[in-house]
Chain A
Amino acid sequence: MIPILKNKLGTQAKNLAQGKYSWLTLSQELLTKVYQY
């Protein structure tokens, strides 16, 4: 079996988790758009 961690779909998902879908990004959005204006 090809190592699943190198899976194309999995890699795309992991990249999104570490960027756009990370709590860090979302909390930054919350801070700048909702808490501060």
Chain B
Amino acid sequence: MVPINSQKIKILILSHNTEERGTYFRCFGFAKYLVKLGQEVTLVCLQKEKTLKTTIKDNSGVKIILLPRIADSGWGELPAHFGRGIFTFILCLLKKFDVVHTSNVASPTVGLTTFLIYLIKKFKKIKLIVDWDDWWGKGGLLTINQKGWFQESVAEFLETKIPLLADKITLHNDLILQRALESGVKKQNIYKIYNGADVDSYQNFYTNNYNQEKARLELNLPQDKFILFFGSSILTSVPFLLQVLKQIQNENIILVIAGPLHPKYPAMAEELLLQKRVIFTNTIPLTLFRKYLLAADILLLPRSQNSLEDRCTFPARLGDYLLAGRPIIANDVGELSRAFRRDPLGLLARADDQEDFKTKIMQVYNDPNLKK
């Protein structure tokens, strides 16, 4: 047990992701602000590029250890999973950590490490926390992506059994909470904590009066258009958004989409005769992403009730959307609907309802009262 108000707590956070991707942002969000609260935090994640090198660096006071990565993803990484597990285990043996917080134990890199740390946690007086952030096992992402029986079964086992070894579980979604309870995790050990907003990263924008006009000028976006923006590392809702835009017969309203571009999306826009009203930026760095948010008039968070991913995750980009100070329109799906109902985060359109999504956009576009 770590006593309250004691000296600095030494925390190790493990992410299965590469730096600046996916749940890395959740891990880094906690890490950066735990440091601001006076704690000592080490974050272990993977290198962005394939390399056999291990790199150590400092980011906002967080000690980040970037481990080698030998394949793009998945089970080509199998030898690396073991190597990374052993490395992190030795790190825990040699260094003193009061808390180890592991994210996504369905990945062997983290699942194996979490198991090894469990074996020494009493001896090393470590409090072990598991962050359950997604649904990878049976019926989840690996099933949807047709990764096969073996991968699914291993992920299912790790995802549902490893959390039972932890002292506490953190998560951000009621669907995952239900799954944790069904797996045998005790309710009193579960804490729901959403993804948050990195306020510090916007201070420069706020203090330098970086406004919409400047952002558009810098990004070469038209000053006279009403800009809708959607950014994500997964663009499956682009067809939905293009259909919504098609229904908005107002040439003044355009859509900017940021994320990993597949040629089928521009083709789709062309087919709908929307090519002059849609801008695809492809994947952009976070600093640029933030400028696009500030250049926009409305920020979109489309979610589908038919997507397990949309139902069981909580988008990390919501924090940036909120900080940009623009109206947000989301679909009434999953944890977002609970958050939007609890707090005035933006407008909710009915799930998978193009007409209602369009209505909400036009409500903001037309209603001067909403713009006060």
Contacts and interface: CB of A to CB of B under 8 A. Distances in A.
B193 A30 contact: yes
Contacts of B319: 17, 21-23
Contacts of B34: 27, 30-31
A7 B371 contact: yes
A25 B195 CA distance: 11
Nearest to B201: A23
Residue in A20, A21, A28, A32 whose Cβ sees the most chain B Cβ within 10 Å: A21
Report which residue of A3, A17, A29 has the largest number of chain B beta carbons within 10 angstroms of its beta carbon. A17
Contact of A6 (B11, B39, B371): B371
A29 B170 CA distance: 11
Interface residues of A, number: 35
| A interface majority secondary structure | helix
Contacts of A27: 29-30, 33-34, 36-37, 196
Interface in A1-37: 1-14, 16-18, 20-37
Given A12-B344, A30-B170, 15 more contacts: A4-B297, A5-B212, A9-B346, A13-B321, A14-B322, A21-B322, A22-B197, A23-B197, A23-B198, A25-B196, A26-B30, A26-B193, A27-B34, A28-B37, A33-B191
A33 B226 CA distance: 43
A5 B325 CA distance: 6
Contacts of B6: 36
B129 A35 contact: yes
A28 B297 CA distance: 32
Contacts of B39: 31
26 contacts: A2-B368, A5-B211, A5-B212, A6-B371, A7-B370, A8-B371, A9-B326, A9-B328, A10-B325, A11-B325, A13-B328, A14-B322, A14-B325, A16-B343, A16-B345, A17-B322, A21-B197, A21-B318, A21-B319, A22-B319, A23-B33, A24-B37, A24-B199, A30-B193, A31-B39, A35-B129
A4 B318 CA distance: 18
Contacts of B372: 2, 6-8
A2 B39 CA distance: 43
Contact of A35 (B9, B199, B345): B9
A14 B294 CA distance: 12
Instruction: Name the residue among A4, A16, A37 with the largest chain B CB count within 10 angstroms.
Output: A4
B49 to A, nearest CB: 27
Interface centre among B168, B323, B325, by most A CB within 10 Å?
B325
Contacts of B286: none
A35 to B, nearest CB: 5
